[in-house]
Amino acid sequence: MQWGLKNRLSRIFNPETGRTVMLAVDHGYFLGPTRKLEDPRATITPLLPYADALMLTRGILRNCVDPEGAIPTVLRVSGGASIIGPSLAAEGLTTSFEEAIRLNVSAVTMSIFVGTEHERETLLNLSKLVDKGEKYGIPVLAVTAVGKELEKRDARFLSLCCRIAAELGSHYVKTYYCDDFEKVVESCPVPIVIAGGPQLDTFKDTLQLAHDAISKGARGVDMGRNIWQSDHPVAALRAVRGVVQENMKVNEAFELFESLSKG
């Protein structure tokens, strides 16, 4: 792997642990002002010290994150569909590598929609993105999107999606945790990080999800709603960080969450 790619990846994945805690705040690109992300700057700012990287669009980066900050960014470069439109899968590429370089990003990311009518288009866009990423030394994160069909999140489907993303050259892949998750990891030759999905019933469930994913080979999380829709987002992120970066057990991380929530 070339030096620039390695250098940027090492800004996202802590070189000491090989893991990452990415904070996903890109939801507005198809959901608009999502609950508790209505004012992105207010949501993001207190969380910055505890995230290894931010995943977001250029609009939120430019307007809601100070350029003086040192946090590495993963720029979402796909979009074009909305939650009220005909198909969430109808995404295209929304910006260029020139823009990614201007914004000094550490990686770019796009969604692929395997098994949908837009499969071919999104997979070929991923290939084009990887070609450019290799040219400029910018890693590409593929997101194995399921749109509104959350029930698709099983090991067979996610293994298919992750493997295709890796075969097309993605430098790492974001997917969902599922039963038999180790099979998804084993059949994907590049690192996998997991999304959190919609807010779970309890925060302990979130910690369990992160713990199970890491113990079955995930290299980190790229979580959004289970962090910033919490009543205590900083405590939530610090506890998830404890699991991912400090090998905390679920109960230990939950105790940290509770003590920080009271503070």
Cβ-Cβ contacts under 8 Å for 232 (sequence gap 6 or more): 257, 260, 261
Counting contacts by CB under 6 A, is residue 12 touching ligand R5P? no
Counting contacts by CB under 6 A, is residue 26 touching ligand R5P? yes
Q: How far is the CB of 189 from ligand R5P (least distance, A)?
A: 23
Among 196, 220, 233, 242, binds ligand R5P (CB under 6 A): 196
Counting contacts by CB under 6 A, is residue 233 touching ligand R5P? no
| Residue tagged active-site, from 135, 152, 174, 249 | 174
Counting contacts by CB under 6 A, is residue 24 touching ligand R5P? yes
Only one of the segments 99-107, 115-123, 191-199, 245-253 lies at the binding site for ligand R5P (rule: CB under 6 A); that segment is 191-199
Q: Are 220 and 13 in contact (CB under 8 A)?
A: yes
Cβ-Cβ contacts under 8 Å for 21 (sequence gap 6 or more): 50, 51, 52, 220, 221, 223, 237, 240, 241, 244, 245
Nearer to ligand R5P, 1 or 150 (CB): 150
Using alpha carbons, list the distances in angstroms from residue 43 to 34, 51, 208, 262: 11, 13, 24, 19
Only one of the segments 98-106, 121-129, 160-168, 223-231 lies at the binding site for ligand R5P (rule: CB under 6 A); that segment is 223-231
Listed in sequence order, the DSSP H helices in 45-111 are 58-64, 97-102
Site for ligand R5P in 92-131 (CB under 6 A): 111
Q: Are 195 and 224 in contact (CB under 8 A)?
A: yes
Residue 174 known to be catalytic: yes
DSSP 162: H
Which active-site residues does the annotation give? 174
Please report, as ranges, the residues that interact with ligand R5P according to CB under 6 A.
24, 26-27, 55, 111, 143, 145, 195-197, 222-226
